[in-house]
Structure 1
Amino acid sequence: MSLIANTPAPPYYAVIFTSHRTEGDNGYGQMADRMVELASKQPGFLGVESAREDVGITVSYWSDLESIKRWKKNAG
C-alpha cells in the first residue's frame, strides 16, 4: 500500500479514524488491511493513508458524501 493516497484534484472528502494502540498488534494490522480492502471496493473510494504508532490514524478519501454514507452502511 502506498503511504500517500493518489487523490484527484479537490473537491473530495476525507474520513478520519483514530484508535488507541495497545501493546502488541492483537489483530489490528489484519483488521486495518481488511477495512481498506472492503473500502476500496466501494464506489467513490479514492484512496487511504495510515500511520500506526501509539495512536493509529487512518484517513480515507471519497469522491462525495453519498459514497461515504454507502460505505458506512456496509458492514462487510
Structure 2
Amino acid sequence: MIKPYYAVIFTSIRTPGDKGYGLMSKQMEELAKKESGYLGFESATGELGISVSYWENLESITRWKSNLKHLAAQEIGKKEWYEWYKIRICLVEREYEFTATK
C-alpha cells in the first residue's frame, strides 16, 4: 500500500438476525472499491465485528462517507443492524506482517 495511508476502523455489536445485512455489506464493499482513493478492506466477525477500510487520504474517506448509497445503508444500520458502533480514523505510518513458511 501507499504509505502513509489511512485506516477507517469500524467496530460494532450487531442486532440478532441478518435482516438483509449480508447482502448490503457485500454491495457496500463493491461500491467502495469504485471510489477514488480506496486501497482495501478487511473484516472479522464474532461477538464484536471489526471492519477496516484503507484509503489514500482524508478526502477519499469524506467522499465515501457522503456517498448517497452508503448514507442510505448507514441509516438502515442504525435502525436495523447495530446495537452499537464506533468509528476510528487513523493515519498508518508503518506496517509489517508475518507469513508462516510451510
Task: Name the TM tier (shorter chain).
Answer: 0.7 to 0.9
Q: 2:11 aligns with which of 14, 18, 39?
A: 18
**Structure with higher helix content:** 2
In the comparison of the two structures, how many residue pairs are matched? 69
> Structure 2: which 5+ runs fail to align?
70-102
Partners of 1:9 and 1:43 in 2: how far apart?
A: 14
Q: CA deviation at 1:24?
A: 3.1
Q: CA deviation at 1:9?
A: 4.1
The structure, 1 or 2, with the larger RCO (C-alpha pairs under 8 Å, 6+ apart) is 2
Structure 1's consecutive aligned runs of 4 or more residues displaced over 6 angstroms after TM superposition are none
Q: 2:30 aligns with which of 29, 37, 44?
A: 37
Identity %: 61
- What is the one-letter code of the residue matched to 2:36? P
> Structure 1: which 5+ runs fail to align?
1-7
Paired residues for 1:39-54 under 5 Å:
39-54=32-47
